[in-house]
Amino acid sequence: MLTALEIVLGIDNIIFISILVGRLPPEQRDKARRLGLGFAMISRLLLLLSLSWVMGLTADLFHVFGQGISGRDIVLLLGGLFLLYKASHEIFLEVEAGEEHGPDADEDGGARKAAFWSVIGQIGLIDIVFSLDSVITAVGMVDQIAVMMAAVIASVGVMLVAAKPIGDFVDKHPSVKVLALAFLVMVGMVLTAEAFDKHVPKGYIYAAMAFSLAVEALNIRARGKRTAARALKAQARANAKAGEAS
């Protein structure tokens, strides 16, 4: 059960990694995925090995307008704001700026290397935020470190297998990519709300995302049929012209 829950909680992590990795040159993407998910596993395992410190993050450090602020709240707030900024920025690049702003357009090897490690750094940063939520959830379900660590390793293994096909699918369909970025905006808003003790059930978010993906799948199928129909008409016209010419 914990492994399944960890996989569900890792969906937003996979989407975030897929979006960032998609801006790297093709030959660097697999390496970036492995490093990103490796950071995710290491951060979760390290947090599990320091449970007393993690649970201490839930204690209030100070109060603002009567609202208690803990270390966990600060991490969630910073992570939520970062995710809001990054997802909004990626939406702008995807919709307005065009591909000329991506790293593929940069011919300078040093700049590409800097972009690669910048992506890894951003993945590692958001991994810490998602890992904190994941570990606190695990602590609430079981009380054995070995079980938690086994669930984390198994879930990261599943995510490692799923990350590439998901990333390829997102890159192949720009509308799905924008939809995934909108999903990350929602996750950023939820993290920000939870920093102020406003709990939003993630089931609502996943249900909304599943419905949106189902609608988009119908749109993709409809576009595919229209494209195939146009190709058949074009072929028929070409055959007709060839027959007239002969």
Q: Does the pLDDT at position 47 exceed 60?
A: yes
**pLDDT score at 241:** 78
Same domain, 179 and 219: no
**pLDDT score at 52:** 62
Task: Give the pair of three-digit tokens for residue 113.
Answer: 């290397």
Q: What percent of the chain has pLDDT over 70?
A: 85
- For residue 209, the number of C-alpha atoms closer than 13 Å in the C-beta half-sphere is 21
Same domain, 106 and 42: yes
Domain count, the chain: 2
Name the CA dihedral angle for 50, 55, 59, 64, rounded to a multiple of 10 degrees.
90
Please give the Cα distance from 168 to 108 (Å, whole number).
Answer: 25
At 104-149, the pLDDT tens digits run: 444 455 555 558 888 888 888 888 787 777 777 676 677 677 888 8
| Residue 235 or 137, more confident | 235
Mean pLDDT of 3-22: 80
Between the alpha carbon of residue 64 and those of residues 1, 61, 67, 77, 90, the distances in Å are 38, 10, 5, 14, 32
Same domain, 38 and 101: yes
**pLDDT score at 30:** 87
Q: What's the domain range around 72? A: 2-196
Task: Give the pair of three-digit tokens for residue 94.
Answer: 């995807």
Q: Report, in angstroms and rounded to the nearest whole number, the Rg of the chain calculated over CA atoms.
A: 22
Please give the Cα distance from 238 to 151 (Å, whole number).
Answer: 58
Q: Does the pLDDT at position 70 exceed 70?
A: yes
**pLDDT score at 107:** 47
Same domain, 134 and 246: no
Same domain, 185 and 210: no
Same domain, 177 and 160: yes
Report the chain's terminal Cα–Cα distance, integer Å: 69
Average pLDDT, the chain: 79
**pLDDT score at 54:** 66
At 29-39, the pLDDT tens digits run: 888 888 888 88
Same domain, 186 and 239: no
Same domain, 70 and 108: yes
Same domain, 21 and 137: yes
Q: Does the pLDDT at position 103 exceed 60?
A: no
Q: Give the three-class secondary structure for 69.
A: strand
Please give the Cα distance from 21 to 208 (Å, whole number).
Answer: 25
Maximum mean pLDDT: which of 80-89, 97-106, 124-133:
80-89
Please give the Cα distance from 5 to 206 (Å, whole number).
Answer: 13
Same domain, 122 and 214: no
Task: Give the pair of three-digit tokens for residue 240.
Answer: 């007709």
Same domain, 172 and 216: no
